[in-house]
Structure 1
Amino acid sequence: MDLNEAAVFVKVVQAGGFSAAARQLQLPVSTISTRVARLERRLGVTLLQRTTRRLNLTEAGQAYFDHAALGLGYMLEAEAAIDASRQEPQGRLRITAPADLGDSLLAGLIQQVQTQYPAIAMELVLTERYVDLVAEGIDAAIRTGELRDSSLVAKPLGTACWALFASQHYLDQAPPLLTPQDLNQHHCLQFSPMGRDTWTFRQGDDSITIPLKNVTMANSIGIVRHMTLNGQGVALLPTYFCKPGLITGELKRILPAWQAQQDAVHLVYPRQRFMPPKLRAFIDIAQRELGAWFSHEQDAFPIK
């Protein structure tokens, strides 16, 4: 099948003749006539009845035109849509991230994307499981820790550092907390995926592991932070997750010289020859916005 023949035939009918079609397509009249004749031979029917004055469609020609014109119209619309998508970021963008990454962080990121590119429809998939981006139709993922799939493109965003936090209300009525060993006298709030029995801290080349005695555990980091804000104990939390509370003074960083686990944070997406503008726009914004959250400077919060 030669689609050029069908396209020329449709143009001849729409233009009302071979000469008019030739002018519109900027082709010789002989080329137009040859392609229509070749189409008729391939189909084994007469599509056009030619006279010196006018051009008439046969019954078969009318049926072929109706279907061919519709199909070519859809193809032109498809190419126009692709061309538009190359120019302006638009369409649905599906992003996945860990459920514990933080509401304010992700909400702010989505707001930035949709403010700058209102034609992008964002869909955020929060989950703790590993997501196969290609199989599940996900455009990009924010991932912490060691990367498992080397076939993905990975853009480093920074480091998620875990540290101790408590509310001023809790600190006012609790025993002094000057060294990691003092945690034995405090109620500890633990995000259970981080472990259930101990906390390990590092200061330069030194490290210490503290057994958890009086502890409350939850598998939701949001619940752990709320309990911390409520003055229910000392929690090990990521510094980026506590940034709003630190700014308002609701949370205090404890033992700032000691740090716990550190996780690399990456933005990953499948390799592709032609990157959609919507994904390029998201990557640029995510690198800027999330890079600020996960930079080392964000982790240097003193006790207030």
Structure 2
Amino acid sequence: MTELDSIPVFVKVAQMGSFTQAARVLGMPNTTVSAKVAQLERSLGITLMQRTTRKLHLTEAGQTYLERCVRALAELEAAESEITSNNGEIRGVLRITSSVDIGHSLLPRLVDRFLDSNPSAEVDLIVTNRMVDLVGEGVDVAIRAGRLKDSSLIAKKFMDSQFGLYASKSYLKEHGTPTIKTLEKFPFIKFTPFKNEPVEIANGSQKMMINLKGPVQVDDLGAVRAMALLGRGIAILPDFVAETDVDNSDLIQVVPEWVMTSGFFSLVYPPQRFVSPKVRAFIDSAE
């Protein structure tokens, strides 16, 4: 008979990639965590993890078991949340992941809105450019840009976005305000993905290509924004990154009728028989 209380311990060790870190999070002695995983392996009669002095690796059987356990625990949590939230109050920890650019701009606003509506809830944010395994790492929901690559996940589109051209007041005071005809004469802060090819911008049905020239090239949108605020050139930024600076008049959109092709963002979550109330509440607050 499998020791059921060992399963959450195994899942946490697998997600953290470390017995020590899992023990710290669970508030258990390291020896207890190790003993519970060993006990689970004995009861199953299989090796779930390969341990070395430096790293911990799941076996193929361990990976399969982990995915099933994560789903089962999510179902139990959803059932518990549904029962305990009958009074309409959302409780528990919501784990959300996003890229660094989204995590520094859009995500805080979404979380703030969610917590305003659900003051008893807690949030654990994983902000990384690594593609997080939602099931394997026990993450409830991800914010992803563009089309979903993993078709096994559920994606719900919640926001459109587009890139615009932005510059600081100091930059425009020194260099003047560009028109669409003079735009290419102005230095740009080049975002690395756009560095080698002309960029297409559009004004309704009108389209044109512009060449980006300038002394600064950056591979991070947050740094592009920072350089624009310092007056180092015109920046091509998503509207959600520039929004607060525009509202504060720190950045001004130039040739505002011309924008890059729009994109969209989705809330992505693992397939479950029942979507937990906290995930549903986050989706509702984001829309």
Q: Structures share a fold, TM > 0.5?
A: yes
1:176 and 1:253, CA in 2 relative to 1: closer, same or farther beyond 3 A? closer
Which residue does 1:172 correspond to in 2? 173
Deviations 1:247-278 (A, max 9, x none): 12111111112111321111111121122221
Which residue does 1:108 correspond to in 2? 109
Give 1:190 shift. Answer: 2.1
1:154 aligns with 2:159: no
Which residue does 1:184 correspond to in 2? 184
Which residue does 1:238 correspond to in 2? 238
CA distance in 1, matches of 2:259, 2:166: 11
1:224 aligns with 2:204: no
Give 1:104 shift. Answer: 4.5
Matches within 5 A, 1:29-48: none
Which residue does 2:279 correspond to in 1? 279
Opposite residue 273 of structure 2, the aligned amino acid is R
CA distance in 2, matches of 1:188, 1:203: 20
Which residue does 2:121 correspond to in 1? 120
Opposite residue 103 of structure 1, the aligned amino acid is H
Which residue does 1:63 correspond to in 2? none
Q: TM-score, normalised by structure 1?
A: 0.62
SS in 1 for 2:123: strand
CA distance in 2, matches of 1:122, 1:82: 15
Which residue does 2:268 correspond to in 1? 268
1:158 and 1:236, CA in 2 relative to 1: closer, same or farther beyond 3 A? same
Percent identical: 36
SS in 1 for 2:100: coil
Which residue does 2:249 correspond to in 1? 249
CA distance in 2, matches of 1:258, 1:182: 13
CA distance in 2, matches of 1:246, 1:233: 16
CA distance in 2, matches of 1:117, 1:239: 27
- Does the 8 Å contact 1:85/1:277 carry over to 2? no
CA distance in 1, matches of 2:124, 2:283: 15
Q: TM-score, normalised by structure 2?
A: 0.66
**Higher Rg:** 1
Opposite residue 131 of structure 1, the aligned amino acid is V
Give 1:142 shift. Answer: 1.0
CA distance in 2, matches of 1:216, 1:204: 30
Give 1:139 shift. Answer: 0.5
Which residue does 1:95 correspond to in 2? 96
- Does the 8 Å contact 2:159/2:266 carry over to 1? yes
SS in 2 for 1:101: helix
1:242 and 1:207, CA in 2 relative to 1: closer, same or farther beyond 3 A? same
Give 1:81 shift. Answer: 5.5
CA distance in 1, matches of 2:111, 2:226: 23
1:135 aligns with 2:136: yes
SS in 2 for 1:231: coil
Matches within 5 A, 1:10-89: 84-87=83-86, 88-89=89-90
CA distance in 1, matches of 2:155, 2:256: 31
CA RMSD of aligned residues (A): 2.4
CA distance in 2, matches of 1:183, 1:215: 16
SS in 2 for 1:146: coil
Give 1:194 shift. Answer: 4.2
- Does the 8 Å contact 1:85/1:276 carry over to 2? no
Give 1:203 shift. Answer: 2.2
SS in 2 for 1:109: helix
CA distance in 2, matches of 1:141, 1:102: 11
Where does structure 1 differ by over 6 angstroms across 4 or more consecutive aligned residues? none
Unmatched 5+ stretches in structure 2: 2-76
1:158 and 1:112, CA in 2 relative to 1: closer, same or farther beyond 3 A? closer
Which residue does 2:44 correspond to in 1? none
1:122 and 1:196, CA in 2 relative to 1: closer, same or farther beyond 3 A? farther
- Does the 8 Å contact 1:163/1:253 carry over to 2? yes
